[in-house]
Structure 1
Amino acid sequence: MPQLILFNKPFQVLSQFTDDGDGGAPRPTLADFLRAPGFRAAGRLDYDSEGLLLLTDNGALQQTIANPRHKRWKTYVVQVEGTVDDGALQRLAQGLELRDGPTLPAKARRIAAPEWLWPRQPPIRERKSVADSWLELSIREGRNRQVRRMTAAVGYPTLRLIRTRVGDWSLEKLAPGEHRVVEVDAPPAPSSARRRKQGGPGQGPANSRQGNGRGPAPKGGTRRSRRR
């Protein structure tokens, strides 16, 4: 059965195993926390966002999770600048116009500051003259920095963003840098992949493993890895 890694990505960690940046100071990557050859992220999570990142060793499962056409719900808790009013919640729920087109309707509600939330390092800069508030926001799309752009479009810039759920999978009690491994049913392979698996001329296996991580793949349980 395919394996799925549920990883709590810390703030300012890349959602990949290598830093292919512009030659500046190296940034932390998944390789600082995981040894997972053959695993790839199923969807992205911004460098400055936190929370649930899914990784899988199965290409069909990766596409099922990450491809926007499946409209899988993703839930975030969002700290914003200002006190969110009902009009902003209604606009988020109805869908709103961004530069790259209208969004699908979202689920949006005000919440209290989560008691389970860990302190961020470095901490959010507090402004005594400006209040902040928290939202729970669920979307079914995967545009670049979409949640941040949505809250800004209704007048409330995002200060902190934590993804708590993707489809049926949630953070539960994972601390930053910890992961949990689960086994899931493999989705049906695309028709072209099935033809390759059946041995069409010049075709390889449907799902080749790719070494993005280091060492043996993780085997079950919740783990905290130290950055090296």
Structure 2
Amino acid sequence: MHHHYLIYKPWGYLSQFTYNLKRNKKLLGELHDFAPDTMAIGRLDEDSEGLLLLTTDGMMSEIVRSKKVEKEYYAQVDGIITDEAVVALQDGVQIGVKGEKYTTLPCLAFRLEEAPALPVRQKKIRDERHGPTSWVSITVTEGKFRQVRKMTSAVGFPTLRLVRVRVGNILLGDFQPGEVKEVDSFDV
């Protein structure tokens, strides 16, 4: 029998269970007593947070990581994002992937008129003295390394905070950082 988990990965944690370099890092195994052979489906980098799915089922991992399953992110960006920047995100932008230029696939993107109701991040982003910020929703079907961060930078609005809020039909909802829920299956 396989095990499946939903987790709100907090800021500052790696999306893995082991880390072989000498630096001390916070790992997912510190948050819950997961079943043996549990793996993260995709990753959120150390500076990102939000919905992460974990499983012991390799086939389920393949399904969720496929381009058939949307992943939605809320990005707090430096400055007030423009309509032109949002259109560029929607159309696809050029980013660097493994030293090569890559154009992202078209995606759904729109400016959030209000800051989303998310838990306060453990590490303060910054304050108003550094200028205004805004929020954008970006829904992608691909997952290149640090893709959403690279996309917002490519249109001139670097990401300050990144939160994955949806994977397929599964929503982050009112989960809190570090919260883990075991489920029977994933309805993506």
TM-score, normalised to structure 2, is 0.91
Counterpart CA distance in 1 for 2:127 and 2:139 is: 26
Is the contact made by 1:2 and 1:185 (CA closer than 8 Å) also made in structure 2? no
Is the contact made by 1:77 and 1:136 (CA closer than 8 Å) also made in structure 2? yes
Match of 2:140 in 1: 139
TM-score, normalised to structure 1, is 0.75
Is the contact made by 1:52 and 1:164 (CA closer than 8 Å) also made in structure 2? yes
Residue type of the partner of 1:61? M
Counterpart CA distance in 2 for 1:129 and 1:29 is: 32
Is the contact made by 2:11 and 2:48 (CA closer than 8 Å) also made in structure 1? yes
Residue 178 of structure 2 is aligned to residue 181 of structure 1: no
Once the two structures are superposed, the pairs formed by residues 44-83 of structure 1 within 5 Å of their partners are 44-67=43-66, 70-83=67-80
2:90 to 89, 93, 111: 93
Match of 1:103 in 2: 104
Q: CA RMSD in A?
A: 1.6
Once the two structures are superposed, the pairs formed by residues 3-18 of structure 1 within 5 Å of their partners are 3-18=3-18
Match of 2:150 in 1: 149
Structure 1 residue 127, shift from structure 2 partner: 4.7
Secondary structure, aligned partner of 1:50 = strand
Counterpart CA distance in 1 for 2:130 and 2:161 is: 18
Residue 14 of structure 2 is aligned to residue 28 of structure 1: no
Q: Which has the larger radius of gyration?
A: 1
Residue 167 of structure 2 is aligned to residue 169 of structure 1: no
Secondary structure, aligned partner of 2:153 = helix
Counterpart CA distance in 1 for 2:186 and 2:146 is: 30
Secondary structure, aligned partner of 1:118 = coil
Is the contact made by 1:3 and 1:58 (CA closer than 8 Å) also made in structure 2? yes
Q: More strand by proportion, 1 or 2? A: 2
- Segments of structure 2 that go 5 or more residues without pairing to the other structure are none
Q: Deviations over 1:36-92 (max 9, x none)?
A: 12211111111110001100111111111124xx34210011100011111001001
Counterpart CA distance in 2 for 1:108 and 1:125 is: 24
Secondary structure, aligned partner of 2:129 = coil
Residue type of the partner of 1:31? G
Structure 1 residue 134, shift from structure 2 partner: 0.6
Structure 1 residue 126, shift from structure 2 partner: 2.2
Residue type of the partner of 2:49? E
Secondary structure, aligned partner of 1:128 = helix
Counterpart CA distance in 2 for 1:185 and 1:12 is: 25
Residue type of the partner of 1:38? D
Structure 1 residue 184, shift from structure 2 partner: 2.0
Secondary structure, aligned partner of 1:144 = coil
